[in-house]
Amino acid sequence: MTTDEGGARQDAHRRPQVEAGGDPPGVRRLPRAMGRLPIYVPEDPWFYKVARVVLPTTLSQLYHLRTSGTEHLPARGPAIVAINHQSDFDPPFIGVSFPRPLCFMAKSELFEHAWFRWMIEHLGAFPIHRGESDREALRRSLEVLAAGQVLLMFPEGTRFEDGRVHPFAPGVGLLAVRSGAPVIPAAMKGTDRIRRDGRLRLASVRLAAGPPVALDDLTGRGSKVYVEASRRMMEAVSDLYGKLS
């Protein structure tokens, strides 16, 4: 993403007060023995609600999905969830872990087939053209945050299966600084083992989230500010990843 996006800019001199420490009203969860994943979220669009009927129980039982720290996501208002990316299976695991619906960028190739495009669009996806300056994706991202929604981002830009968190693109720092939305760092481990040698396998999956990344002291515009914001976000995600068992 470039740093001169014209009308898509949304500068924020103050970050909104973050309200954390519990679920939004009306959220229902699985029993503790099954991972406490949210199975009903009033804010969910209808297709997201359908997915929560099936996926949390399935993923908690087959893949022993367990989460921690998801209460750091604000109960309302805009937020960015920044997480490492290991597998094409990441989005459903992340989506059922948080008690709010997530919007996310997806590579444009996934939108080429009508039925799959319909499904992922109803789960909050919108296309991004990797390797290009995508002003439309930036504009959509800022619109998501301006509407008080949660934006899921994979700041590494692509999948990595080597067990490391890789440098974050400065574009995610740009979004964080200009939108003023709190950035919730998260890390996930285990999805890279689900498909090996072309075959699906069972694996234990863990997800941990942390408190908002401190970005309040970053002011102004420019690549140095955005790079520093991205560096801090990567450091927070790396710390979480290193603590996952």
Q: Is the pLDDT of residue 19 over 80?
A: no
N-terminal to C-terminal alpha carbon distance within the chain:
34
Predicted TM-score (pTM) of the model is: 0.86
Q: Is the pLDDT of residue 8 over 70?
A: no
59, HSE (Cβ side, Cα atoms, 13 Å): 30
Q: Which CATH superfamily is domain 19-243 in?
A: Glycerol-3-phosphate (1)-acyltransferase (3.40.1130.10)
Q: Is the pLDDT of residue 14 over 50?
A: no
Specify the pLDDT at position 12.
Answer: 45
Distance CA 186, CA 82 (A): 6
Tokens of 125: 């996806």
> Residue 222 burial (CB < 10 Å; 0-12/13-18/19+)?
exposed
Percent of the chain with pLDDT over 90: 60
Tokens of 22: 């519990």
